Amino acid sequence: MYDAASPSGLRSFAPKGRPLDGKAVLITGATGSFGRRMVRTLLERDEPRKIIIFSRDELKQYEMRAELEELFPKEKIARLRFFLGDVRDRSRLELAFRGVDVVIHAAALKQVPAAEYNPSECIQTNVMGAENVVWACLRNGVQRVIALSTDKACSPINLYGATKLASDKTFVAANNLAGDIGTRFAVVRYGNVAGSRGSVVPLFRRLLTNGATELPITDPRMTRFWITLEQGVDFVLSCLETMRGGEIFVPKIPATTVTALAEAMGPGLPHRVVGIRPGEKLHEMMISADDSRTTVDLGDRYAIEPDFVEYGRTGFSEDGVGVRVPEGFAYTSDGAGDTLDTGGMAELLEAARA
């Protein structure tokens, strides 16, 4: 987990170069936590020709523009395009993707309980939306596509995870459809993002701000993978550099128990066990034993390679870039290489806030 070269001490996934310089980049779901951080990172560090913020919420787009206008000069803001649309609308995507070089697909419905109660809505956005993105990319000759996934897509037990697994399969298989268009698709899969609006961290902070005398936890044994927004953005950018098409990239990130998280945020406060919600796992998994047959170790990450390839692609292990993992290997939050105690989790949260 720890990297002495990184100011925060966390493993850095920063790209070696600037893969998006001179490119027209479109981010679906760009007004979410990841998209907002990605746009800020690109404006701060890189020189993309154009950044298209594609989302369906006009208020969030208005607020995002106002925030960015306070932080960056006019010449930077001039590169932004705010495009209202929904990934469910294929024709709108085709229009938005004209002239785009790189697509980062972050749009999704992500709340597990909401997906269980509204399955058709989740399927329409996460599965049919993925199909629409693939179609629009192929129709417009987009060069590279990265889709964001989740640890819940590995051996899923809830609808959200199942839809993201279907999405992952759609993007991986899309490489076989590209033909002479040459579009390459890949997926990144990681765990809970510290500081994102969908994690438990904002809930704990709100409870503590309101004077909570205890914190609710699901199960003292529960473990989860954790990554910061900065790491997540850098991981996507570095995967854009190394992708060959068809991979599911998995970062080597730490895991912790829910009790260590609660203790890090509210030292000394008692915990109230509320039980696991429907559709939740006790431990999360990012690579299953069945995936191990096609998984390679790339040092700071793993790559699950496609097992059905009808396009020009050399495997990472074939040219010595990666090493195949042992058959039966599984990457789970209760067996991850880096396990954070309370102090380590506090450091990660502090880095995420910074």
The answer to whether the beta carbons of residues 129 and 146 sit under 8 Å apart is no
Angstrom distance (rounded) from CA 159 to CA 63? 31
Which residues have a Cβ under 8 Å from the Cβ of 148 and sit 6 or more positions away?
34, 104, 105, 106, 108, 187, 188, 236
3-class SS at 153?
helix
Q: Which of 23, 152, 164, 252 is catalytic?
A: 152
Angstrom distance (rounded) from CA 88 to CA 135? 12
Per the listing, tokens 């609006």 go with 197
Per the listing, tokens 């409870």 go with 207
Which residues have a Cβ under 8 Å from the Cβ of 322 and sit 6 or more positions away?
296, 297, 298, 303, 315, 316
Burial (0-12, 13-18, 19+ Cβ within 10 Å), 279: middle
Q: Can you count the helices (H) and strands (E) in the chain?
A: 12, 17
CA dihedral 262, 264, 269, 272 (to 10 degrees): 10
Asked about 152 being catalytic, the answer comes back as yes
Catalytic residues: 152
